[in-house]
Every structure is written in structure tokens, then in C-alpha cells.
Amino acid sequence: MISTKWAKQIKSLQLKKYRKAEQQFIVEGEKAVLEVLASGWQVPALFATERFLQQHPTAIQAAQLVQPCSPDDLVKVGTFNSNDAALAVVAIPSWPAFQTTPGQWTLVLDSINDPGNLGTIIRVADWYGIQQILCSADTADCYNPKVIAAAKGSFLRVKLHYLNLPEVLTRTHLPVYGAYLGGENVHQLALSEPGGFIVLGNEANGISQQVGQCISRKITIPAFGDAESLNVGIAAAVISDNLKRLSTLS
């Protein structure tokens, strides 16, 4: 059983202001919890079913507190509709200050509001070996439970920095590519160098005017049908795939 104190703590961590105050967040589900236990990140508390505890006796040693509970307990305090494994309370890590790396790509998110989209983009970045994402202050919180669920463990390997985007982009000497409905065909780009920034805009409004002033090259994914637009997570994957491919050829 999960104590009243911990139940309140877990519930509070579903809100951004308490995550920020406590510097903690929650991870749910067997696979994601196992990944975080193996990551070296600090895990102040682990709540898990007897089955999970018996199957993973070595992994659970990474948690400071381990408490058995039922699947119903996990569902009551968490965000999943079903969870027969575990829930971990995890300390938010401190990343080094953002620095650009020549030859590497960085995704830049300008007001991405949907947590599911952000989680998908984090997973895409991890797939393509993109290790850093720059986010505007109003982009969804990367420790939102919906983001963590959608990222599928990739949040452990991709560093997100919430910064003033124009300030960062106006100082860089690397190319800044912006995703627009009109621009250079991403399939046929000639890259000036194998790396830079890839800017993706808000789901409804695209790249803001202020950030748009920092774009050095507008790019687009050519359409072959009649769809009005692509989901930003899908667009992130298509653009990342093409730019990574092209950068290996340049």
C-alpha cells in the first residue's frame, strides 16, 4: 500500500509547479521504470507490485526507498489507466549549460504545446542521435507525465534546455533551418555543413515571427497528396531523417 504522504506527493508531481518546487517527476510502467533504474539517475522512491519486485531484484537496488503495492494502488496515484508493474519518483537532473557542437544537429522547439508531440520529438531525436533539444519557455514541460510516457525512455538520453531562442540563435555561426510550408525541398538540400539547428514551430501557428528572423534557410517537406499539414512529431522525423542522411554525404 502507498502511504497517504507519498500518494499526495505523487499526485502533486503531476503538476508543473510542484515538479519545479520539488525537483522531482514520476515515471510509470515496467519498461520505463527499468530504464530509469539502470540509468544512474537518482530514484528517491519506487512503488512496485510483488511480481515486479520478484522479477527485478537487482534493478530495484538503485532506488532509495522500495515499497510494495498493488496494481490498483499504482493506478489510483498515477496517470496510467492500468499499471501492473511500477511507478518511480525520480530526481530531475542538472544539465551542463547548452553548448553547440560542430557537426551535430540540434532540434529547436518554438512553442510546442502538446505533451504527446514533445514526447514523440524526444524519441525521434534519440533515434537519430540528436542529443540536445532547445525549447522556448512556453513549450510543454519535458517532465510532464504524458511527455515521459510518449518519450518511451528516450528522455534519459536527450537533454532539453529551456532558453530564450532568439538570443541563442542570433549568436550562432551554424546554419539555422526552419520548417515551413514553403521553402527548399528537404529531399534535395545542399548542406553548407553537416550540422546546425532545426527549428519546428507551434502546432497551430508555426514558427513565431521573432524566432523566424533567426532562420537562415527555410525548408519544407514536399506534399504528394492533399493533406493540409503534417503533425509536428512526424515532421520532426522526416526532416531529421533527411538532414542526417544528407550530412553523411556532405
Q: What is the 3-state secondary structure (H, E, C) of the chain?
A: CCCHHHHHHHHHCCCHHHHHHHCEEEEECHHHHHHHHHHCCCECEEEECHHHHHHCCCHHHHECCEEECCHHHHHHHCCCCCCCCEEEEEECCCCCCCCCCCCCEEEEECCCCCHHHHHHHHHHHHHCCCCEEEECCCCCCCCCHHHHHHHCCHHHCCEEEECCHHHHHHHCCCCEEEEEEEEEECCCCCCCCCCEEEEECECCCECCHHHHCCCCEEEECCCCCCCCCCCHHHHHHHHHHHHHHHHHHC
pLDDT number for residue 250: 58
Q: What are 174's strand-pairing partners? A: none
- Residue 231 has a pLDDT of 95
Which residues in the chain land under pLDDT 50?
none
From CA 229, how far away is CA 222, in angstroms rounded? 10
All structural domains of the chain: 4-91 (3.30.1330.30), 105-249 (3.40.1280.10)
Q: What are residue 47's DSSP bridge partners?
A: 67, 87
Rounded to whole angstroms, how far apart are CA atoms 199 and 177?
6
Sequence-distant (6+) residues with CB within 8 A of 45 are 6, 63, 64, 65, 66, 67, 88, 89
> Sign of the C-alpha dihedral, residues 146, 147, 152, 153?
negative
Instruction: Identify which of 212, 93, 122, 108 has the alpha carbon closest to the alpha carbon of residue 163.
Output: 108
Going 187 to 135 to 156 to 45, the CA torsion angle's sign is negative
Q: C-alpha cell of 222?
A: 514536399
Q: How many Cβ atoms from other residues are within 10 Å of residue 50's Cβ?
A: 10
Contacts of 224 (CB under 8 A, 6+ apart): none
Angle of helix 115-127 versus helix 232-249 axis, rounded to 10: 20
